[in-house]
Structure formats: structure tokens, C-alpha cells
Structure 1
Amino acid sequence: MKKLNLHRLLPITALCVAAACSAPVKTTTQPEAKASEWPRGVSYEIFVQSFCDSDNDGIGDIKGMTSKLDYLDELGVEAVWLMPISPSPSYHKYDVTDYYAIHPNYGTMDDFKAFLAEAHKRGIKVVVDLVLNHSGNGHPWFKEAAANPNSPYRDYYVWAHKDDPKTKGEGKTTGADSFNVNHWHSVPGSDYKYFGYFWGGMPDLNFDNPKLREETYKIGRYWLQEIGVDGFRLDAARHIFPDDREEDNHKFWEEFITEMRKVKPDVYLVGEVWAEAKTVAPYTKGLPALFNFEMSWAILKALQQGQGDSLAIKHANILDIYDDVNPDFVDATILSNHDQNRIMSEVNGDMNKAKLAAALLFTLPGSPYIYYGEEIGMKGKKPDEQIREPFLWDVQEKDECRTSWMVPVNSTEQTVTPVAVQASDKASILNHYKTLISLRNNSRALTYGKIEPVRLDNKAISAFTRSHAGETVLVLHNVSGTAASISLPANLANYKKTLFTNNNAVLDKNTIQLPAYSTIILKP
């Protein structure tokens, strides 16, 4: 593993002062020509059921999503990740019953092809959730396997006799991504149990079976070649094989990407592996993009504790670990997703902290993902339905797109300002997101740049430089509620131009005034 060159950290002294203020985001220079190119650009995660309803049945659908592509284009995203869109009995649709179809509530395959075409016209790539770790227990494979032990589909799943010791004595989870404590499930009238890591409605597929593996390649080829998607988000990528067979998991994804590249050489695969960098890194050979959960946890901790001094060092170390395995990996960074409490709720509704979280996401390394609604400050804490609530497009009487499949608990008009209202407010979190995304999209340094942490005497300040292809920026974030005054030493005195400032952060000669929860980005 590469070691972080701490002797290269740039020294700065910092003194706390006692004032904080808020103001609209400001950019004070014209951005560079567009620099980002997907998959290094910004992506946007959509729960279709909650996003936009086109036919007034209360359920978000593909036509509704198509009608909002201009919104996504204006936001500045270069790709969308769609949570599962295939038939399923559940609201979340992670228990797939047909891998080759669209859930009828969402529309038709023709609707989806039209969405793809319109997205591609706008330069927006489309990534779909591919759920291969398990099927639904309503899938024809499982129904036949459960009913007939001699079925050719029996070996598509994992079975054990009910008296087998491994089906006994459960009572603990084996990963951060599941609270299920019962992994073996009964079939009425049978002496055998099947393995389902997440719950009985999601029986795990048996990847020791070559025929099953070929089925998964066939599914992938269909969506890439016949339908034309740009790639997949791979659900539960760590659980293809049991946790004690980690190397088999790695090898499967290397096989999978090899097969997918036969039909689409530039296929994009992003994996879900809930773990720290040393566990995640080996997956980058087969899954060249992986979500950086570790940094999402670190950003939240920094905001909650008011200490940002270690963020850049931690991120640099993570990147070194990944780089040792696959130098071409894509670091898919997030603040939250459909399985995590929303960032606005995690910071207790503090708008300044939520805006700072976004500033951290778009200035630290990585290719950021936005969970739908983060850009308008939606709230939500588990249970899962309450972190997947309807998106607010306009005030209720004008919102023809708002879904009503559930009654929202967290993100109502009393707690969240709709898009149409925020759009005209320069100080809104929506316009904050737009500004930051535009800044990143037009900066080679912020899109591709290496990170060099800057040493501070103030633990509240996250400071670092980003450099790429002759462009360098100096970034400073105050993650605390106490303002700071920072004197730039001689070796940083050439950073005189303000590229971005928020919450009235300002450079005055060689001194930076950083109010509480503020950001400033400087360039030479």
C-alpha cells in the first residue's frame, strides 16, 4: 500500500474567532470549460415509485421520470441510477420475479426504451439496479425448485436439511447491510430449508452452479445489448458467496465483467460492498466502481462532532488502498442512499450543515452520487419507507407529478420547500447543489485531481489541495459552529483568486475568514 507522504502536508496556522453568518453561495470567477466525463461525473439515484407520477395513479413511473430529464440535465448530472424496475411483489422491488420485464406499475419496456433514448439525447447515462444475489420467492425458478426437489432449478438455490447444524443456532447478523438474524427459511411440507441472507422473501441464488452463473450473464447481456442500458448497480455484491468465501466473491465479479465486456466494452459496473477500504479494495478488479460508504460515515461524523481535520487524510489513504489493486477504479462517493438515513435528518435539519455536506461531497475526490431529494433537503429516518418518500416538485395544489403511494412522515411541505419554490431562491439548497455541481463539472482539479491534505492547527477545518493537468485549487471547509481566521503562510500565498465561497467565507490579503459551516475554494 502506498503511504501518505505526511511530510508533504502544507502547514497553516488557524485562530478561532467568534462570529458566524450565512449567505447565498457565490462563485467569483468564470468556470473553466467543461472538464468532467462520465463515469467521472455526477450521478443521481432515483426510486422510480416516489419520483414522478405521469398518470395520476399515485405511483411514480417511467413516463414521469422521462418528463423530468430536463430537470436532471439542468442540475448537471451525467447519469442516473434507477432502483429496481423489474416485476416484484414488494414496494421496493428487490425481490425480482422476472428479470426480463418492467414492473407494470412503472410502465412498459417501450416506455423504458423511450426514457433511455431521451436520456441519451441529453448526454445522461442510465444505470439500472441488477439484483443477482437473490431472486424473489415468487420467481418461477424458486417456485418450481421449492415444489419439486428433482427440478432442474433446485440447484439454482442453496438448500440444507432442517436437521443440518448450520441451520441451527442463528441469532446474529453477519454484515452492516442486513439486520436479519435468521438466514435459513422453511418451505411448508418440506424437510429442507433454503438460504436467504436478507429475508425469506429473497432466497439466495447458488453461484456454485455454472448454469445459474450463465443465467446471470444472459440477464446482463439482455439489458446491455437488447435494451441499451449503460451499466449496472450490483446489489449485495459482497454476498454472492457466503462471507467466509470472500475470494470467490472477487472472482465471480471478475468473471461477470469479462462476460459483460464481450457485448459492451465500456460497460459500467458499480458495486455495493458495505465495508471499510481494505475489504472493499479487492472487489475493484471486477467492480471498477464501488460506493465509498466509509467516507460517507466519516463526513457525517465530522459534521456531528465539528471536527474535519482528518477527512482529507482519511480519503487519501482510502484512495491509496484502492489504487494498489486497480489504478483505474472509480470512487463512487455518497452522502446517503436508499438504505441510509437522509443527510438532512442526520444533521437534525440544520441547513448550514446540509449545505456543507454537499460542499464536502463535491470537493473531495470521487465521482459523487446524489440520492434523489438530497438537493432539496428532504428528510428521512428508518424504517426504509420513510427514507424513500415522495419527491416534492411544487406546492401541493400545483404539483401534478407528486406521488401518493404513501403518506410522507418526514418530507412534507412543512419541512421541505418544493423544487419550484427553491428554484427562484438564490440561497436555496437546490441552487447550492447546482452551483457546486457546475463548479465540479467545469474543473479538472475537482473532477480528477489528486488530493493533498493541508495540516491545520484547528481541528474544525478540513483543508486540502486538488491538482490535475496544470490546474490546482485550495479548499477549506469549517465543519464547526465556531468561526475561524486563518493566515496563509508564504508557500500558499499564491492562492489569491476566489473560485467559490459560501456563508461569507472571504480571503482578505493573506487571511481567510471562515464563518461557521462555511467553505472557500481558492486558485492561484
Structure 2
Amino acid sequence: MKQHRFILSLATACVALLCGVGNLHAAAPSDTPERPAARSGVWYEIFVRAWYDTDGDGIGDLDGVTAKLDYLKSLGVDGIWLMPINPSPSYHGYDVTDYRQIHPQYGTLADFRQLTDAAHARGIRVIMDLVVNHTSDQHPWFLAARDPADPHHAWYTWAGPRAQLAATSATGGPAWHALGKQHYLGTFTGAMPDLDFDTPAVREAIDDIGRYWLAQGADGFRLDAAQHVYYDFATQTDDPAVLRKNLQWWTSFHQAMKQADPDVYLIGEVTREQPSELEPWFGPLDAVFDFPLASQLIASAREERTGTLGALLGRIAAAIPTGQDAPFLSNHDQERVMSQLDGHAQHMRTAAAMLLTLPGEAFIYYGEELGMRGTKPDPDLREPMRWHRKRSGTGESRWKRFSAGDSAEVSVDAQQDDAHSLLAWYRMLIDWRRELPVLRKGALSVPEVTNPHLAVWELSDGGDHALVVHNLSHQAQTLSLAGALARFNQVHLTSQPDARIVAGQLHLPAYASAVLE
């Protein structure tokens, strides 16, 4: 029934979706079946603590997410990812102490259900971070596990007599951590002891937790550290047996979740450098984040040259099922895009244009659409969302001080009604994905183009074909529409009105993007 309600609400909201901002060259609406339920395939990552505060304590909360759903709707996203919302002793929440409750600073279970109901009424899905590779060392399971006679002792991994206690973990730190005369496995830190998924009771508990949150209204999960369920030590980096055990577990979990909700969406964090290393995860999961692509998109935008982008897209097309990629630019663990691009506004727009004209389910990190900056350490990547020009405005999170030095113009108030703002640019691009479904679900291919300043790819879905062209350069560029490209003779969407086809040549102004049919 949840899926039926979701489709109905999505159709009800379609009128607002079809009125996107900034579409400079759009076809007239059609009566095809796709239009009433047009999706953008764009997700938005939210750190609740930093988002919007409704009770005046300076901490963002779930009611704040509900309060700003109309903003997300106007942006055009049709899914949100909530970073950890379970009780935790840390500010970030990636060490959970209770998997069935909401962090008290964020609200209650009733608030979560209200959020999912309100989101679904707007055609917006909600997935939440599921952090099950490890728990907090303050979780009741681990507190009980300290006693070797307690059944929970088998829920965690303990060093045997032959263990190499100086071993390096898969994340680069110490793998083993002392607890009296015992040593337990903590791939990330000693505050995050690893669960042992060879223990049947652990698997049953995690399946139950997943079913519990689906029943509360969640539409799926972002699976934290998905590859580390069995990948614990640096020596296991390319161990096929470890990969096989990881995939077996997630296949089992996926099946359990599908039985609870056939439309569940599972996306995993798998930090690998090549698309071929991501390929085995499709099936066990619905998607994994495309880390290799994120780095290259930013590099191409910054350098104003495609570099190895074309070759990488070719490998992605060969390795990742059509429409299932999860491209992004940055997330809560990485420097914000605008910082990586040294504050260059046009390069930021170029990176966004490439991201949002690639197929799959694209992910945006909160504040990215405003140009928020942020560099390490991690807390500075997760600073309060900028709603108002003044940081003391209503609802502004005060969980930490700002470090990036962003001006008042990097705020929703400043950009909301500015047709030339970065926010309007994101709205335009997201609207393109609804205008042309082939942009989000088309099969990807990369034609040979010799101009290094042009990023070009073709998308095909049945009888629909589109050629996407981005001028990465600060100078105007041309593309010859000859040979296999000759059939693309109409500019359907463009970010600048001066983009045009003359005598078989596409002329693109500096930093312009176009979609040809």
C-alpha cells in the first residue's frame, strides 16, 4: 500500500514539478504516460543537526526537515537521504547506541512518521543511514559482550591467540583494541566495535531493524561502510573471498527487505577507484555511490578539459547497469565542491551540469546548490545550512560556528528569487531531468570527440536519443555534427540562449551546456 500512496501523491504533485525554474529551451508538455509521474532521479543528503531548528535549541531536528520539504520540492528532488538519526554519543551519529529510536535532539518516532508522511504527500522518498558494520562501544550489546559468558560476546569479533594485534585495519588505523585482557575488532576506531556477521543472531537482528524502519515509513537505506562488513584488514583489500562474503550478506539483507517492501531502495557506500570494482555490487544492492566519477567530474570542471572523463564514462557504461549509477560530487566526508574548485563559480556550474545530465540516481549534498564551502576537519564539512543572509535568522542551526567564510549571498534568502543564482541553475538542471527522462535512465555511450574542452555523451532509451554537450572552457567552442552525430540536429535544452546549430556545427558559448535531439 505504501507504494500506491507514493505514486498517487507523486502524480498529485506533478503540476508543481512541471513548473521548474530556468528551462531556457523546452519542448511543450505532452500527454505521454511519462509526464504525470515525471521524476528527476535526484536525491538530497541532509545532516539533520545542521539543517533547520524548530524548537530553538540550536540543533536541527526532524520537524525542521518536514518544515523545509517545500524548499526541497521547489528544488526538484524526489528523494532525501538522512544521515544517522539514531541515538549516539557523537555529533555525527555513526556510532549507534539504539537502532530503534530517534536521537532525542532530533525528535521522536512520531516526528519521523510525520516527516515520511509529509514527504510522501509531496512525492519525495526518504532513506536513512543504516550503520550496521559496527555499533557504538556504549551500545547495550557491546556492554553485555564484555562478559565472555554473555551470548552477546559472539556478536562481536575478538582476537584469538594467533591474532596479529598490531595489524592495520582496512581504514588505515589499528584493527584491534584492548579491553582488559581481551582485544576486539574496530575497523574504524575503538569507539566503533565491529559486529560479527558470521553470528546468525546478528544477521537476524539487522534484518529486524531494517524491517522496523520500513514499517515506520522509510523507503530504504544508505548502507554505511557496506564493503567493511567483512573487509576488516588492509591485507584484505583485493581478497575475492572477502568480497564474496560481503556480497552474500547484502544479497540476503536485500531479499529480506524486498519481502517487507518490494520497492525498497538500498544504496551502499563502497569506496573503490574503478567502475569494474563497483560492478559486483549491483544485484546485492540497488546502487553504490560512484566515487571514481565524482573525482573526475570535479577535475574536468576545474581544469576545463575532459582529461580521462570520456574513458571513465566508457568503463562506467560497460560495468554499471543502465540507469543504476549513483553519481555525486561530494558528501559529508569530502571537501565541499566549491572548496575543491577554489570558489570558481563557473566551474561549480559546469560540475553541476555534468552531474545532472548523467544517467542514474544523482545525489546532492545539502548546501551544494548554494555554493557552500567546507574543508577538513570533518565537522567543517557539515556546517549549518544557510537559510538567511544573517546567521541568526529563524531556524538557523547553531550546532557549530562557521569556518568557511561564506558571504550572505550564499544563502537561500539571497538566491531564492534570483534567476541567475546557483540555486536557479540547479533547479533548471533538475527540471531538465524531468523534461527528458532519457537523461536519467538512458544507456550511456561516448562518441569520439577530439576537442578536449568539450564533454560529450549520448543517451538512448528505446526510441529516445539525446546528445549531451558541455563546454568546459572559458572560450566559445564548436562541435562538428558529422557522421554518427549528424542525426542530432536540434537544440532541445540549453543553459544559454546563444547555443545554436549552424551548417552542421554546434556553437556553444563559454561554460554552456546543451542537450540535442
Q: TM-score, normalised by structure 2?
A: 0.89
Q: 1:295-322 CA deviation, whole Å, 9 max, x = no partner?
A: 1112122123322164244223223223
Q: CA deviation at 1:169?
A: 4.9
Aligned match of 2:455: 462
Checking the alignment, whether the CA contact within 8 Å between 1:43 and 1:81 is kept in structure 2 is yes
- Secondary structure in structure 2 of the residue aligned to 1:55: coil
- Secondary structure in structure 1 of the residue aligned to 2:516: strand
- Secondary structure in structure 2 of the residue aligned to 1:369: strand
Change (3 A) 1:467 1:431: same
Checking the alignment, whether the CA contact within 8 Å between 2:416 and 2:424 is kept in structure 1 is yes
Which residue identity is paired with 2:72?
L
Aligned match of 2:441: 448
Q: CA deviation at 1:375?
A: 0.7
- Secondary structure in structure 2 of the residue aligned to 1:80: strand
Aligned match of 2:267: 270
- Once the two structures are overlaid, the 10-residue window that deviates more, 92-101 or 264-273, is 264-273
Q: Take 2:280 and 2:386, find their aligned partners in 1: how far apart are those partners? A: 40
- The counterpart of 1:298, out of the listed 296, 299, 317, is 296
- Once the two structures are overlaid, the 10-residue window that deviates more, 310-319 or 421-430, is 310-319
Checking the alignment, whether the CA contact within 8 Å between 2:167 and 2:176 is kept in structure 1 is no
Change (3 A) 1:397 1:204: closer
- Once the two structures are overlaid, the 10-residue window that deviates more, 122-131 or 285-294, is 285-294
Q: Take 1:82 and 1:397, find their aligned partners in 2: how far apart are those partners? A: 23
Change (3 A) 1:342 1:474: same
Q: 1:90-111 CA deviation, whole Å, 9 max, x = no partner?
A: 0100000000000000001111
Identity of aligned residues (%): 39
Aligned match of 1:186: 178
Q: 1:243-264 CA deviation, whole Å, 9 max, x = no partner?
A: 4411100100011111112211
Which residue identity is paired with 2:199?
N
- Secondary structure in structure 2 of the residue aligned to 1:262: helix
Aligned match of 2:154: 155
Aligned match of 2:10: none
Which residue identity is paired with 2:442?
G
Checking the alignment, whether the CA contact within 8 Å between 1:81 and 1:128 is kept in structure 2 is yes
- The counterpart of 1:506, out of the listed 488, 499, 505, is 499
Q: CA deviation at 1:30?
A: 3.2
Q: 1:464-518 CA deviation, whole Å, 9 max, x = no partner?
A: 2222232222211122334323333265445343223235651142333333322
Which residue identity is paired with 1:231?
G
Q: Take 2:265 and 2:40, find their aligned partners in 1: how far apart are those partners? A: 11
- Once the two structures are overlaid, the 10-residue window that deviates more, 99-108 or 289-298, is 289-298
Alignment of 1:284-323 (within 5 A): 284-308=282-306, 310-323=308-321
Checking the alignment, whether the CA contact within 8 Å between 1:234 and 1:269 is kept in structure 2 is yes
Q: Take 2:301 and 2:75, find their aligned partners in 1: how far apart are those partners? A: 25
Checking the alignment, whether the CA contact within 8 Å between 2:489 and 2:501 is kept in structure 1 is no
Aligned match of 2:213: 223
Aligned match of 1:241: 230
Aligned match of 2:404: 410
Q: Take 1:357 and 1:35, find their aligned partners in 2: how far apart are those partners? A: 27
Aligned match of 1:282: 280
Alignment of 1:193-208 (within 5 A): 193-208=183-198
Which residue identity is paired with 1:131?
V
- Once the two structures are overlaid, the 10-residue window that deviates more, 454-463 or 148-157, is 454-463
Q: Take 1:48 and 1:30, find their aligned partners in 2: how far apart are those partners? A: 38
Checking the alignment, whether the CA contact within 8 Å between 1:308 and 1:478 is kept in structure 2 is no
Taking CA–CA contacts closer than 8 Å with sequence separation of 6 or more, which of the two structures ends up with the larger relative contact order? 1
- State yes or no: 1:341 paired with 2:335: yes
Q: Take 1:212 and 1:39, find their aligned partners in 2: how far apart are those partners? A: 37
Q: Which runs of 5+ in 1 are unaligned?
A: 1-23
Q: Take 1:491 and 1:165, find their aligned partners in 2: how far apart are those partners? A: 60
Q: Take 2:28 and 2:348, find their aligned partners in 1: how far apart are those partners? A: 24
Q: Take 2:38 and 2:277, find their aligned partners in 1: how far apart are those partners? A: 26
Aligned match of 2:424: 431
- Secondary structure in structure 2 of the residue aligned to 1:159: coil
- Once the two structures are overlaid, the 10-residue window that deviates more, 35-44 or 211-220, is 35-44
Aligned match of 2:107: 107
Which residue identity is paired with 2:128?
V
Q: Take 2:209 and 2:70, find their aligned partners in 1: how far apart are those partners? A: 30
Change (3 A) 1:198 1:63: same
Aligned residues: 484
Which residue identity is paired with 2:141?
W
Which residue identity is paired with 1:205?
L
Checking the alignment, whether the CA contact within 8 Å between 1:86 and 1:102 is kept in structure 2 is yes
Which residue identity is paired with 1:499?
H
Checking the alignment, whether the CA contact within 8 Å between 2:53 and 2:395 is kept in structure 1 is yes
Checking the alignment, whether the CA contact within 8 Å between 1:83 and 1:129 is kept in structure 2 is yes
Checking the alignment, whether the CA contact within 8 Å between 2:87 and 2:101 is kept in structure 1 is yes
Q: CA deviation at 1:36?
A: 9.6
- Secondary structure in structure 2 of the residue aligned to 1:167: coil
Which residue identity is paired with 1:85?
I
Which residue identity is paired with 1:497?
Q
- Once the two structures are overlaid, the 10-residue window that deviates more, 395-404 or 41-50, is 395-404
Change (3 A) 1:462 1:394: same
Checking the alignment, whether the CA contact within 8 Å between 2:54 and 2:63 is kept in structure 1 is yes
- Once the two structures are overlaid, the 10-residue window that deviates more, 382-391 or 440-449, is 440-449
Checking the alignment, whether the CA contact within 8 Å between 2:155 and 2:195 is kept in structure 1 is yes
Q: CA deviation at 1:452?
A: 2.4
Change (3 A) 1:316 1:39: farther
- State yes or no: 1:360 paired with 2:354: yes
Which residue identity is paired with 1:444?
P
Checking the alignment, whether the CA contact within 8 Å between 2:350 and 2:472 is kept in structure 1 is yes
Aligned match of 2:8: none
Aligned match of 2:18: none
Checking the alignment, whether the CA contact within 8 Å between 1:84 and 1:92 is kept in structure 2 is yes
Alignment of 1:50-69 (within 5 A): 50-69=50-69
- State yes or no: 1:94 paired with 2:97: no
Change (3 A) 1:31 1:475: farther
Checking the alignment, whether the CA contact within 8 Å between 1:131 and 1:234 is kept in structure 2 is yes
- State yes or no: 1:517 paired with 2:511: yes
- Once the two structures are overlaid, the 10-residue window that deviates more, 433-442 or 465-474, is 465-474
Change (3 A) 1:131 1:505: farther
Q: CA deviation at 1:413?
A: 2.9
Q: CA deviation at 1:417?
A: 2.0
Q: CA deviation at 1:386?
A: 0.9
Which residue identity is paired with 2:373?
K
Alignment of 1:156-175 (within 5 A): 156-161=155-160, 164-170=162-168, 174=170
